[in-house]
Chains A and B, each alone.
Chain A
């Protein structure tokens, strides 16, 4: 029998969270379609649990955290690949079956490690900001100076080491304490070194922090470029010729330029720079927001405002300022995954997922984020999508859990692998706070009806009003 003054049909249904989570707005300001909390849930044809993770290596490789990971695709007409991981002092190959082949144990321990596959030489290059540049061709792993006995290799002798690299046309560029150095054409072993013309230097104080390839769009042309960041500025590097001999005292055949684009927005999180096809380049800024540089454009904007929490749920404002270097972002369709160390965490413990499908198909909705995603402690992540691969991989960030590599967003997995433990994903979805068309009246709630899909277990429902939770959660029972 109908209740007297019953909440009408048209108001009684909570709208789907098509606009994602909004941690910033007050309870009164939340719009229909937004959610106060989407812990470990996404909206994807229903509000549903995110996918979990499974481990690649079944036993720990030791009490280390992952310092870097990369899938090295090579071989030209006979394509093949190897998964490279860095931890402790080691660089190793880890097979799909989880078996390890160690390439070196001579790296300085605990250094954030970057990999770059350079198709020009079909090799992968490895730097960690401390040691000499290393290379691997799938067979031989060696220091770069071994290749040619060159004195021009970063990290060799007293040369400043490389911290991060990016390709542009027939060169690699890399960050050292000198600025941005570059190679000779089509070789990985001859680098500029504090050159008056070949070394690019910043305009603002402080070192460069990150590099990422980026294509500029002109009226009728595309121009190769690199976005270079300092912690509080970003630049574009472009050109068509980068010098015949980068060790020469003066330039020849060089039209490279570096242009300052912003003196306010940069990054302290080199692992956060990520390109999304057809959308643009994203990174996590030093003031803890997410910046989006649309493809082809040099004018960007912030897209992380909804993740700046004003409540008890930690958002991006809680990212550990002392560990911004551990922030990472990776695109694995349809989500751009942002992972941050929260509070005092030294590795990424909380993720937020940006729905790229919505950003492309329905830009009027603005950036749609889901999260926080909790239950993982992934310190590095990389995408493997060539040669029939299609996976997002992650390396454990907590040395106490042991060194493991995981498959993230694993199909039909609803637990998270963390070390040797598999933990159920804990979903919490909190709706906005509608007044059901009677804003001045209190409400009597008899029950909540729901269409749920859950093969096992029981979901619970808890009421909240503007003052907070009301009593304990009630279980959903089947009708």
Chain B
């Protein structure tokens, strides 16, 4: 089967939307200019013909800033070990998927 020149809904290559196009060693490349924290891909095909996926790879780099959906601000100096207590009592569905502290190690405590 001949590889089509390009697949997608956009009008121009490189316009920042979704494109699939024969590219380099990979027959098809999808260009997505987003900065997610975690990435999953969903492949769909309803062309009616035979379809299989030989390999799937992600070309990306880590962005300098972690993007997460919620933030609690503290600006606090604490001890050597830190635990977090998360509370929720709004009576609805609630889920924690990822929990990360943004801070630094600082001067030695209890020295001397």
List residues of chain A with CB under 8 Å of any chain B CB.
Answer: 2-7, 9, 12-14, 27-28, 36-37, 41, 46-49, 412, 414-415, 423-467, 469-471, 473-479
Contacts and interface: CB of A to CB of B under 8 A. Distances in A.
Interface string B57-92: 000000010111111111111111111111111111
A47 B85 CA distance: 12
A397 B56 CA distance: 56
B90 A457 contact: yes
A442 B68 contact: no
B92 A442 contact: no
B98 interface: yes
A452 to B, nearest CB: 5
Given A7-B104, A445-B101, A48 B80 contact: no
Interface of B: 37, 64, 66-109
A268 B98 CA distance: 42
B71 A450 contact: yes
Contact of B99 (A448, A463, A478): A448
B83 A36 contact: yes
Contacts of A456: 90-92
Contacts of A427: 86-89, 94
Contact of B85 (A37, A450, A478): A37
B107 A449 contact: no
Contact of B72 (A14, A47, A447, A464): A447
Contact of A451 (B76, B98, B106): B98
Closest 10 CB pairs of A and B: A457-B90, A424-B91, A465-B79, A433-B81, A461-B72, A449-B68, A438-B105, A451-B98, A445-B103, A453-B95
A453 to B, nearest CB: 4
A449 B100 contact: yes
A167 B93 CA distance: 42
Contacts of B91: 414-415, 423-425, 456-457
A420 to B, nearest CB: 16
Contacts of A415: 91
A441 B92 contact: no
A450 B87 contact: no
A449 B93 contact: no
Given A5-B106, A449-B102, A450-B99, A457 B89 contact: yes
24 contacts: A3-B103, A5-B106, A9-B66, A27-B83, A49-B88, A49-B93, A424-B89, A429-B86, A442-B108, A443-B103, A445-B103, A447-B74, A448-B101, A449-B68, A450-B86, A451-B68, A451-B98, A456-B90, A459-B88, A465-B78, A473-B87, A474-B72, A476-B70, A479-B67
Given A14-B100, A441-B106, A451-B97, A476 B72 contact: yes
Contact of A3 (B71, B78, B83, B104): B104
A446 B67 CA distance: 15
A22 to B, nearest CB: 13
A28 B54 CA distance: 48
Contacts of B76: 444-445, 463, 470-471
Given A27-B81, A460-B72, A444 B94 contact: no
A473 B85 contact: yes
A456 B93 CA distance: 8
B71 A447 contact: yes
Contacts of B105: 5, 7, 436-438, 441-444
Contact of B93 (A414, A429, A466, A469): A414
B92 A12 contact: no
Contacts of A37: 85
Contacts of A467: 79
A441 B102 contact: no
B68 to A, nearest CB: 4
Contacts of A2: 64
Given A448-B71, A448-B100, A464-B84, A442 B107 contact: yes
Contacts of B75: 445-447
A425 B103 contact: no
Contact of B68 (A428, A450, A465, A474): A450
B81 A13 contact: no
B38 to A, nearest CB: 8
B81 A465 contact: yes
A435 B109 CA distance: 13
A451 B94 CA distance: 11
A446 B103 contact: yes
A474 B72 CA distance: 6
Contact of B78 (A41, A442, A457, A476): A442
Given A439-B80, A442-B77, A447 B87 contact: no
A173 to B, nearest CB: 46
Contacts of B80: 435, 438-443, 465-466
B27 to A, nearest CB: 34
Contacts of B77: 442-445
A459 B70 contact: yes
